[in-house]
A and B are shown apart, each in its own frame.
Chain A
């Protein structure tokens, strides 16, 4: 009833509800920390993350090296911070690409003729049947490890996740009264899709994207852990874990500091996604996450 709720913008409204939810607030704080440290990384890092310093190698945490050093004497803390940059550099284009293509195909499938729908659903089912990591490994086997390969492969296999949701939403909106009204007023298909359906699909997509980020970040780290992602000496959380794995009996610090940012990213984005879902669509409450 009060006027201040009415005048609040939509984003303000979402933020207001997010901060009321304890897990949502925790998620928001963790995610902001990760995003800001990735953006400001070059100014935060105390050392050059790829500068070797052999005499100081394999040290434990100390005041000069907060998380110790690796086998080449590189500062682990600096590598962790720069690794966040790599993680987001992979996650953002991957998810943006998958959303755009999924949105396009999903709306066509949901609004277009039946045969096109069948065809696109078949395409989704096909893309979905590639086990992501195996597929990525097959491509890497041919072109060699690179971040672009990782981005491309995860993007292709993520398209169905978004496309299917968009398709279902478009289908249910298509028969709703306000769309029928628009149609009878003579609105074009592009106008209906772009002006009326698109805004209604974006909310659930944002939730899905927030929940999908940890999966993508985890895959990038996993492939880099296998030596199939970033090329050395670029720091990635996965390559830190790889170094730590081979030195597991010498020092635990590399594994500990490579894993914690991954766990934090996972927790932060999952909490945020959960809370966001409750704000965007209370009906979805209590359902499982993205798998």
Chain B
């Protein structure tokens, strides 16, 4: 077990290093450079050289990447050239907003998805199962920002049930929760369908397996068999899928933050692009890559703890 966890963490570290290096190489290859992005085309050569030296861009690429990792380990992602604040502080200030939004979205959609999937599997081919099936397929690929815009139009602008902008008054939990409902609806909707299908499929598979038959043969109550034995295994794929889906959740969060004018990583990136604040853009992208790698790793480890078969399979 410990060996598996260590191996998985090692792989995560390798992937992070590769991803960051690749990001550097790609950024380096494409036309356009950070300095002219930030200073505009009319900047004097002296000014350009000064900024390049300050950002470490005058050094060869491998040195830049090496220095970057060295600084990253120290928690230093550079200085925002406009406000002179550390990029790490700026980005870290926005991460909690995005994480709250993502976690709340995945919490409600996974709960509903598991309930629907479980119901569908137990009452196979009932009207409820068919309805869930059609509903799942219909919402599964719905772009989050379209759902966000429509719910903004219907529930905030027309019906005025929910607030349209912001994340609520700081310190006022009720108000913050109120502001969370529409954005998390937008992010979570497609996941309800996805998770419901996943749970249904794995539940049906598990209900047909030998150990469930044995449990039934022992005369255990059907409810007990379904919810204590089958469901426990049937929600495993959900854990993996949520971990791997973190990239999609982050993308959805970017759009939703913009639509509802919520603070967060997405809003930070867009604002930074508009003001050509390149170090902050890079910092946010790196942070989201880190969150993504961390969540896939965590999902794999949780899976290994819950299901011994996954450990052997890797």
Binds A, one of B55-63, B80-88, B278-286, B304-312: B278-286
| The one of A127, A130, A221, A274 that contacts B143, using a Cβ cutoff of 8 Å | A221
**CB-contacts of B15-50 with A (<8 A):** 15-16, 18-19, 22-23, 26-27, 30-34, 37
C-alpha gap A259/B153 in the complex (Å): 12
Chain A residues whose CB sits within 8 angstroms of the CB of B31 once the complex forms: 143
For the complex, what is the distance from the CA of A286 to the CA of B129, rounded to whole Å? 12
Least CB distance from B264 to A in Å reads 12
Q: How far is the CA of A291 from the CA of B251 in the complex (A)?
A: 12
Q: Is B149 in contact with A142, judged by CB distance below 8 angstroms?
A: no
Cα(A269)–Cα(B143), bound, Å: 13
Interface string of B260-302 (1 = CB under 8 A from A): 0000011001101100101001101100110011001000000
Q: How far is the CA of A16 from the CA of B8 in the complex (A)?
A: 47
CB < 8 Å neighbour of B197 from A122, A128, A129, A286: A286
Residues in B with CB closer than 8 Å to A215 are: 141
Partner of A255, one of B150, B201, B250, B270: B150
Report the interface size class on chain A.
35 or more
Residues of A with C-beta under 8 A to B32: 142-144
Verify B201–A288 contact, CB threshold 8 A. yes
Min CB distance A164 to B, Å, is: 11
CA of A245 to CA of B153 in the docked complex: distance in angstroms? 9
* Binary flags per residue of A130-165, CB closer than 8 Å to B gives 1, else 0: 111111011111111000000000001000000000
Which residues of B in the span 113-156 have a Cβ within 8 Å of any Cβ on A?
134, 137-138, 140-143, 145-146, 149-150, 152-153
Of A66-74, A102-110, A222-230, the segment with at least 4 beta carbons within 8 Å of chain B is A222-230
CB of B239 within 8 Å of the partner chain: no
Take A249-B157, A291-B245 as given contacts and tell me if A125 and B273 are in contact as well, using a CB distance cutoff of 8 Å.
no
**Which of chain B's residues has its CB closest to A270's CB?**
B141
A130-B23 CB under 8 A given contacts A288-B241, A289-B194:
yes
Residues of A within 8 A of B204 (CB): 286
Residue A252 lies at the interface, judged by CB distance under 8 Å to chain B: yes
- B5 at interface (Cβ–Cβ under 8 A)? no
- Chain B nearest Cβ from A278, distance in angstroms: 12
Name the B residues within 8 Å of A211 (CB-CB): 141
**3 closest A-B pairs by CB:** A218-B143, A133-B251, A126-B18
Give the A-binding residues of B (Cβ under 8 A): 11, 14-16, 18-19, 22-23, 26-27, 30-34, 37, 134, 137-138, 140-143, 145-146, 149-150, 152-153, 157-158, 194, 197-198, 200-201, 204, 241, 244-248, 250-251, 254-255, 258-259, 265-266, 269-270, 272-273, 276, 278, 281-282, 284-285, 288-289, 292-293, 296
